[in-house]
Amino acid sequence: MPTPRLAPHTPDGQREAGDKWRFPIDRRSAIVAVMGWPTIVIFMAGVINFALNRAVFGSRHPLLARLPHASRLLGSRAALVTEFAMLLVALMLAANGWPGFMWAYCGYTAFNGLAAWLILAGKV
């Protein structure tokens, strides 16, 4: 672990307050500065994924009707928790300088949309 360097002295001999323990590797910008289009697009795709999930589990598809009620209830909750975890990880990665995850999450949303369409249209 690198040793932290102390903030430089100001002309009057005092240390600068905001940079007391700055590491040389810590060059990140403020969180507010990087919350741009990737974050907005991932959030909107997350809303779409939750809506698709709700529509599929709310449908009376024969594949889901064969499951016992407890399994259906637990499965829908587990799917929502998993969906939230995927959204949270994608948002955190995009907000911390990995905007390429926007494309990965949009691809995930496209596959979810295709699967939901297949289920809701009765193709499966």
**pLDDT tens readout for residues 15-59:** 555 555 555 555 555 545 446 889 999 999 999 999 999 999 888
Would you tell me the crossing angle of helices 101-120 and 37-58 to the nearest 10 degrees?
20
101 against 20, higher pLDDT: 101
In this predicted structure, what is the pLDDT of residue 43? Answer: 95
pLDDT of residue 83: 95
Give the range among 45-54, 95-104, 107-116 with minimum mean pLDDT.
95-104
Q: Give the chain as a DSSP string.
A: -PPPEEPPBPTTSPBPSTTTEE-TT--PPPHHHH-SHHHHHHHHHHHHHHHHHHHHHHS--HHHHTS-HHHHHHHHHHHHHHHHHHHHHHHHHHHTT-TTHHHHHHHHHHHHHHHHHHHHTT--
- Residues 118 and 52: their CA atoms lie apart, in Å, by 12
The residues, any chain, with a CB within 8 Å of residue 51's CB and separated by 6 or more, are: none
Residue 1's pLDDT is 53
pLDDT of 5-14, one tens digit each? 555 555 555 5
Place of tokens 């974050």: 39
This prediction has a pTM of 0.68
Q: List pLDDT tens digits, range 55-94.
A: 998 888 888 888 888 888 888 899 999 999 999 999 999 8
Confidence at residue 56, expressed as pLDDT on a 0 to 100 scale: 92
**Domain segments of the chain: what residues?**
31-120
